[in-house]
């Protein structure tokens, strides 16, 4: 493909998931946008509408470092894709980290309300 688009086929599902979910990826100082293939893709009509991003939630109480709650937070932000491994095993750091596909045409969610407190989304 031309016009700065590349089509990559993975024979291994684990490699595919790694490429899609473990970014951000950079080559020569430029970010790559990695997306799932869409049938009937036309580069002349393509605009980036959705992108997978890693979201950080600082100051989350340790009791809320659980799969169900984090999945609900991610779903409120966009299309939930993945919970960071360290977050999922309750290895508490300075923040919880989730991967979410967001719609760039929609307003970003800057914070969430948790147990009467407002927590920032980064």
pLDDT tens digits, 43-67: 776 677 888 888 999 888 888 888 8
What is the per-residue pLDDT for 93? 67
Instruction: Confirm if 101 and 78 have CB atoms less than 8 A apart.
Output: yes
User: pLDDT tens across 62-87, in order?
Assistant: 888 888 999 999 999 999 998 887 77
Paired tokens of 77: 């932000």
Rounded to two decimals, the pTM is: 0.71
Question: Cα(109)–Cα(62) distance, rounded to whole angstroms?
Answer: 22
**What CA–CA distances, in Å, run from 67 to 3, 42, 78, 87, 99?**
40, 37, 16, 9, 13
The domains of the chain are located at: 13-35+47-120
């Amino acid at each position: 493909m031309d016009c700065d688009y590349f089509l990559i086929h993975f024979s291994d599902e684990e490699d595919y998931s790694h490429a899609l979910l473990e970014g951000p990826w950079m080559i020569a100082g430029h970010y790559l946008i990695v997306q799932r293939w869409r049938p009937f893709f036309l580069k002349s009509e393509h605009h980036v509408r959705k992108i997978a991003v890693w979201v950080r939630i600082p100051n989350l109480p340790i009791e809320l470092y659980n799969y169900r709650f984090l999945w609900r937070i991610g779903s409120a932000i966009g299309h939930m894709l993945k919970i960071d491994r360290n977050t999922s095993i309750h290895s508490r750091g300075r923040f919880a980290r989730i991967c979410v596909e967001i719609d760039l045409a929609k307003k970003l969610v800057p914070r969430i309300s948790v147990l009467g407190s407002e927590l920032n989304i980064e």
